[in-house]
Chain A
């Protein structure tokens, strides 16, 4: 038992419960989802931040080019410088300048001198090399986190008209019109450099806040999942616990079935199942008990029969000893007398007048020997009959006479007279001679004990309506009515402790029932008791079976039938 518990504990400890499994699964799922969402938003966010920077840079360069058109045309560097100052207000702008098509710088502004030094040459050159007639705005280069923009400053001139200049502002509006009529005359370039530093900062800020949000979301998801799972698992746990209790034998264990869902249904079913199990178990236990009791009863009955047999045998032994010792005493005594007297006459010889005496001695010896032989034969027949198990055709009269032969002397010794009125047509029944003998012995012993002083026992046998009826009536003290219905119960006795087993009549009842017969008793206090035994007469060609009886009762008057099942 203990090993089992530790084993299952270990198992429980080692295994992953539904809770852990579902939390792990949902956490993984949430994390994957959140991180892919995070990656997507960071990617798109940085993408849009970068596009915004490029857009702003190109707009700023275009604006500068547009605004500085006139000042470039007339070479007003002061105005250009002012315009550049306005552009430098943007914190991302690291430099702004306006250059002539040949590369000469008209005006420029730098965020700091260090940058001016490192960038001036390159920026100028690149601008000069660039063909700008078709591209209005283009990032020049991405170097070390910087973006460079260049917008051409130009004027529009009609193809035919010579030097009529047009301001770009109007030009932009006229761009929708036919282009072929004008051509662009580039007079300079507006160049702006912008740093990506701020963009990177924004992106990294965005990334870190997204990370935190993701972690928070995952945490919340895990917590929510565990709460939900715990809630979902609680009734299942209760069920598991209850199942364990039931398995351990506690059939009164119930699960709360208050929930109005599938788990509530499950709990309901479980409770019903447990109740059924309890009933079944109880029925099983009851069946086991009943079976054990039945076996016990069966054994007890066998013991009763055996005890009854032993009691009858004890009674018989006393009778037999008495019966056989008398003739033996005669044989021994006469033999010794004969021997003695013959020795006395060894010299004188026997006188003729003494011969009748000796003959008488020897006749006595012979007669007593015959008696002994008869007794031993009876005894052997009884023993044979007792050891026989199968039923056979039995002459009831013969058994009555045989039984009486064993106890008649005893009855005579106790001043009890026996009268027999036996049916002339020798009634045969299906029965067992030994059992029948025990039945008659038990009843007769009861009668003998009921007679205090002088009395008579009358035994009658007759054939009536297809049944053999044997009545054994005594003139004894009778049985009070309250005892009458109990006398066939095992261990019921009115005798003092040690005087009677209380088994005789219950065994008798069982034996009679075994032979398909019935036994009834009538009694009247101070007048006597009558036992009535009825046995079915087998039809001529019937197989020997004691079972088939027609249950027609022949007894009349206040007879008592023992309840069935008491001792049979």
Chain B
């Protein structure tokens, strides 16, 4: 089943580029493992992420919100300022209503909360990538 989906994805586009930003190494690795069908880059904080963004365009960015040296908002602003077409999924352990609103205002595609279901994350990623391709 999983293999089948991978084939479909491969047919649609050779390799989608995904950037995972989280200060927690363990979580970066987990997400990379969960999304191993895609080409995943990782960054430990906002600054690293923006450095990568400047060189490369990603199909999808999954970012934590609260991070030292450049938080999720910083990443969102960078995407906006660099005029990237990337979809952004914010993955956070705790977001106040104000922060959620700020994220949406900054153009995030979706907000997911930690802890998350791996399958749900995959489904969300696929949904984003499909709509991204059609756009």
Contact = CB atoms under 8 A, between A and B. Distances in A.
A333 B118 contact: yes
B116 A333 contact: yes
B119 A364 contact: no
Contacts of A414: 66, 68, 71
B27 A333 contact: yes
B118 A328 contact: no
Contact of B114 (A328, A367, A409): A328
Contact of B71 (A330, A331, A332, A413): A413
A14 interface: no
Given A318-B96, A413-B66, A413-B71, A326 B30 contact: no
B114 A329 contact: yes
Nearest to A357: B33
Interface stretch (A237-245, A270-278, A334-342): A334-342
A322 B94 contact: yes
A48 B89 CA distance: 144
A326 B27 contact: yes
Nearest to B118: A336
A202 to B, nearest CB: 125
A405 to B, nearest CB: 16
Interface in A280-326: 318, 321-326
Interface residues of B, number: 25
Given A330-B26, A364-B30, A413-B68, A325 B93 contact: yes
Contact of B66 (A332, A336, A340, A410): A410
A532 B115 CA distance: 40
Interface string B26-40: 110111011000000
A368 interface: yes
Given A322-B93, A322-B94, A337-B33, A328 B66 contact: no
Contacts of A367: 26
The A interface is mostly helix, strand or loop, or mixed, namely: helix
Contacts of B2: 340, 344
A415 interface: yes
B69 interface: yes
Given A326-B114, A409-B66, A336 B94 contact: no
A329 B71 contact: no
B113 interface: yes
A331 B71 CA distance: 24
A412 interface: yes
Interface in B83-115: 93-94, 96, 113-115
A415 B94 contact: no
Contacts of B119: 336
B68 A329 contact: no
Nearest to B94: A321
Nearest to B30: A333
A329 B96 contact: no
Contacts of B29: 364
Contacts of A368: 26
Contacts of B33: 337
B67 interface: yes
Residue in A322, A329, A368 whose Cβ sees the most chain B Cβ within 10 Å: A329
Contacts of A332: 115-118
Residue in A324, A331, A336, A409 whose Cβ sees the most chain B Cβ within 10 Å: A336
B10 interface: no
Interface in B30-71: 30-31, 33-34, 66-69, 71
A348 to B, nearest CB: 13
Contacts of B114: 325-326, 328-329
Residue in A321, A323, A333, A367 whose Cβ sees the most chain B Cβ within 10 Å: A333
Given A318-B96, A409-B66, A410-B66, A325 B30 contact: no
A412 B68 contact: yes
A367 B29 CA distance: 14
Given A325-B115, A328-B114, A340-B118, 17 more contacts: A325-B113, A325-B114, A329-B30, A329-B93, A329-B114, A329-B116, A330-B26, A332-B117, A332-B118, A333-B30, A333-B31, A333-B115, A336-B117, A336-B118, A337-B34, A364-B30, A415-B69
30 contacts: A318-B94, A318-B96, A321-B93, A322-B93, A325-B94, A325-B113, A325-B114, A325-B115, A326-B114, A328-B114, A328-B115, A329-B27, A329-B30, A329-B93, A329-B116, A330-B27, A331-B115, A332-B116, A333-B27, A333-B116, A334-B30, A336-B119, A337-B34, A340-B2, A367-B26, A412-B68, A413-B23, A413-B67, A413-B71, A415-B69
Interface of A: 318, 321-326, 328-334, 336-337, 340, 344, 364, 367-368, 409-410, 412-415
Leading 9 A-B pairs by shortest Cβ distance: A325-B93, A413-B66, A321-B94, A329-B114, A329-B115, A412-B68, A328-B115, A336-B118, A325-B114
Interface of B: 2, 23-24, 26-27, 29-31, 33-34, 66-69, 71, 93-94, 96, 113-119
